[in-house]
Amino acid sequence: MSDTFVNELPDVRSVKGERQDIRVRMKDGMHLMTHLWLPEGDGPWPVILVRNPYVDEGFNPDPEVVLFAEYGYAVVIQECRGRGASEGVWVPFIHERQDGLDTLDWIIASPWCDGNIGLLGGSYLTFNQWVMADSLPPQVKTLYLSVLGTEQYRFMYMDGMFRPDIYTGWVVTNSSTDLGGRNPKDVEEKARSFRPPISMDESLLGKKLDWYRIFLQSPGAGDPLWQEGLWERLSSMPERVNIPVCMVGGWFDIAIDSMFAAYEKLRPEIRERSRFIVGPWVHSLTPHGDRSFPGGTMQGGNGGTREILAWFDYMLKQMPCENTLGIVKTYVIGEDRWQEWASWPPEQQWQTYNLHGSSRLSTQADEQQSSASYIYDPLDPVITAGGSGLLSVFGNASTDPRTACVLQPEPGYRQDVLSFLSGEIGNDLQIAGSIEAGLTVSSTAEDTAFTVKISEVLPGGETYNIADGITSLAYRNGSPSALSYTPGSLTELDLKLWPTV
C-alpha cells in the first residue's frame, strides 16, 4: 500500500475485525464463498458489496476495499460462481444477475446490515453490479462503478470489426483452462492473431467455448445476441436505474466509449445526482504510454480511494457531500488540468479538415479531385501504435501492442499507411467530444476494413495519437446488418471515433 494512498485518507474511525468466510446459499442450492469484514463494536453498519471472479489463483482481497471496515462499513467480497472456493460451473456473465440479487437478500437479512448498501466494482466486477441495477431492493442506495459500461456490442465491436485485444486475451486467462505449463502471454499472443478466429478455442485451449464463439458470430449490432436477453437488458440498465451512480473511466481505457453511452442514458434526474470522472488512464486506472500527464493521478478527489469513501459516506451515512454532483469531471490532455463539465458533450463548434492530394490536411476544400491508394495485405498487418482499444498494457512482451498515448512512427514509414498533415493550428483549438472522419473509398475486395487515426504533432516534432476508429465495408456507417458492396465502386464511410478531450 503506497504512502500516497495512505496519506490521502482521513483518520480511521473504527477497528477492523477478523475476516469471516461464509458459504452463502443461492436460491438454486449453490453455495458461494463470501468474505465478510465487520468493524469491531456494536452494529449494525452500512454495507459495501463487491463480487469478484478473479480468484482462481486464491483469494487475495484488495486492501483498498477491505479498509472501509476501518471507517465503519461492513465489507462483503464474494467469489463468483464456479471461481475460487465457490460452487457451480463458471460461465461468464450468465449467473451474475441472480447470484447478485440472492446475495443482496442475504445481506439485508443479516443483523449487521443497517439497511444501507452500496455496490462497488471495476471492469467485470462492474458488470456484476450493472446487470442487476433495474431490480435493486430499496436498501441499495448507490453504485460506484469503474471501467465498464453497458453497451457490450460497442465494447467488443466497432462497425463490424471485432476487438481481439479486448476480449480474446481475456478468454484465454478466464476459460478455466490448464495451459499445460505454457506462458499465458504467449498463448494470448497466438490467440489474438489465430485464423480462423472461430477455431482458436479448440486449437489453443483444447475445448469449445460457446460463450466465446457466440460473440464472434454476432458482428452486427442488429444480431439477436445484442437485441434480446442479457445484452439487450444490460444496454437499457442506465435508463432503469433509480439511484445515483458514480462512474470512473480513462481516456485510454477499453470501455470509455461504452461508459459515455451509459452515462448519457441515465435519466436527467438521476444524472443530476451522479458523477462521471475521466482521467488520462488505461484499464488499470493509471497513466500509461509515452506522454506525461502532470497531476493526472486519482489522488486529490479524482476518483481514488478517498473519493470512494466520501461518496459512500454521503450516500450511505448522510455525511456532508465533498464533491459537485451532476457533472462530468475530466483531465484535459495537453492542458494538464482537471475540468468539470455541466453537460456532455459540451457545447462545441465543428471544425472541418479536408484531405488534399496524398499527404495534406487543410480547412480549405480541395479544388481538384485527387485520390491516394495502397495495397492491403492481411498477412502483413500494421501493428497498432497506441489507442484505447487495447488491453495488452498489462503485458511486457515485445509483441504486445502498446496502448494509450504513444509516440507515432514517421509519416511514410509504410506504403500501406497514408498520412495527411495539416499546418500549424495554434493553441486556441480544444477538442472535446467525438471526432468524426468521412472517407470516400473504393476497394477491389467485397469486404475490407478502413482505419483512421488522429494524432497531434507537438512543437518539438513529437507525434502522439489522440483518437482512432475502424469500420468494415459490410457494417459501414453503423449499419446493424451486413451491407453488400460491389468491388470497384465508390462508397461513403462515416467513422465516429471514441470521445476525448
Q: What is the pLDDT of residues 175-194, one digit of tens each?
A: 888 888 898 888 988 998 89
136 domain residue, yes or no: yes
Q: Which amino acid is at 467?
A: A
Tell whether 88 and 174 lie within a shared domain: no
321 domain residue, yes or no: no
Bridge partner residues of 249 (DSSP):
278
Tell whether 72 and 191 lie within a shared domain: no
Write down the pTM of the prediction: 0.94
Tell whether 7 and 138 lie within a shared domain: yes
Joined together, the cell numbers standing for residue 169 give 486475451
Tell whether 48 and 141 lie within a shared domain: yes
Q: What is the mean pLDDT of residues 244-268?
A: 97
Beta carbons of 251 and 286 less than 8 angstroms apart: no
- Among 123, 146, 169, residue at a domain's last position: 146
Q: Decide which of 223 and 363 is more confident.
A: 223
Confidence of residue 400 (pLDDT cuts 50, 70, 90): low
Q: What is the pLDDT of residue 480?
A: 97
Q: What is the mean pLDDT of residues 17-23?
A: 97
pLDDT at 159 exceeding the cut of 90: yes
Which segment of 39-43, 186-190, 316-320 scores lowest on mean pLDDT?
A: 186-190
Burial 281-306 (b: 16+ CB within 10 A, else e): bbbebebbbebebeebbbbebbbbbb
* Residue pLDDT, tens place only, 88-141: 999 999 999 999 999 999 999 999 999 999 999 999 999 999 999 999 999 999
229 domain residue, yes or no: no
CA distance 347 to 242: 27
pLDDT at 391 exceeding the cut of 60: yes
* Residue pLDDT, tens place only, 408-422: 999 989 999 999 999
The alpha carbon torsion through 423, 425, 426, 431 (nearest 10 deg) reads: -160
471 domain residue, yes or no: no
**Cα-based distances in Å from 321 to 28, 300, 316:** 41, 15, 11
Annotate 122-159 with three-state secondary structure.
ECHHHHHHHCCHHHCCCCEEEEEEECCCCCHHHHHEEC
What is the CA 255 to chain-centroid distance, rounded?
2
Confidence of residue 299 (pLDDT cuts 50, 70, 90): confident
Tell whether 41 and 166 lie within a shared domain: no
190 domain residue, yes or no: yes
Helix ranges, 318-452 (H)? none
* Residue pLDDT, tens place only, 63-81: 999 999 999 999 999 999 9
Q: What angle do CA 382, 184, 92 make, to 5 degrees?
A: 95
| Total residue length of the chain | 501
Tell whether 140 and 170 lie within a shared domain: no
Tell whether 140 and 206 lie within a shared domain: no
Tell whether 83 and 189 lie within a shared domain: no
Mean per-residue pLDDT of the chain: 93
pLDDT at 1 exceeding the cut of 70: no
Tell whether 88 and 214 lie within a shared domain: no
Joined together, the cell numbers standing for residue 291 give 506522454
Domain that holds residue 126: 1-146
pLDDT at 337 exceeding the cut of 70: yes
Give the torsion sign (CA, 157, 384, 278, 459). negative
204 domain residue, yes or no: yes
Q: What is the pLDDT of residue 2?
A: 42
Q: What is the mean pLDDT of residues 337-350?
A: 89
Q: What is the pLDDT of residue 393?
A: 64
41 domain residue, yes or no: yes
Q: Decide which of 77 and 379 is more confident.
A: 77
Tell whether 5 and 108 lie within a shared domain: yes
- Among 84, 119, 146, residue at a domain's last position: 146
Per the listing, cell 444477475 goes with: 97
- Among 198, 218, 238, residue at a domain's last position: 218
**Residue 1 CB: number of other CB atoms within 10 A?**
9
Q: What is the pLDDT of residue 196?
A: 92
Q: How many CA atoms lie within 13 A of 478 on its CB side?
A: 7
Tell whether 48 and 171 lie within a shared domain: no
242 domain residue, yes or no: no
Beta carbons of 48 and 16 less than 8 angstroms apart: no
Q: What is the pLDDT of residue 4?
A: 41
Per the listing, cell 481538384 goes with: 368
Q: What is the pLDDT of residue 3?
A: 37
Tell whether 129 and 169 lie within a shared domain: no
**Structural domain tally of the chain?**
2
Give the torsion sign (CA, 378, 380, 386, 390). positive
Domain harbouring 85, CATH code: 3.40.50.1820
Q: What is the pLDDT of residue 122?
A: 96
CA distance 142 to 133: 10
CA distance 276 to 296: 16
Q: Which amino acid is at 411?
A: P
> Which residues have a Cβ under 8 Å from the Cβ of 191 and sit 6 or more positions away?
164, 168, 169, 171, 172, 200, 204
Residue 408, helix vs strand vs coil: coil
Name the most confidently modeled range: 159-173, 285-299, 374-388, 475-489: 475-489
Residue 463, helix vs strand vs coil: strand
Q: Which amino acid is at 425?
A: I
Per the listing, cell 477497528 goes with: 15
Q: What is the pLDDT of residue 51?
A: 98
CA distance 327 to 271: 8
**Residue 349 CB: number of other CB atoms within 10 A?**
5
What is the CA 399 to chain-centroid distance, rounded?
23
Confidence of residue 394 (pLDDT cuts 50, 70, 90): low
The alpha carbon torsion through 463, 367, 497, 440 (nearest 10 deg) reads: -120
Beta carbons of 493 and 476 less than 8 angstroms apart: yes
Q: What is the pLDDT of residue 5?
A: 44
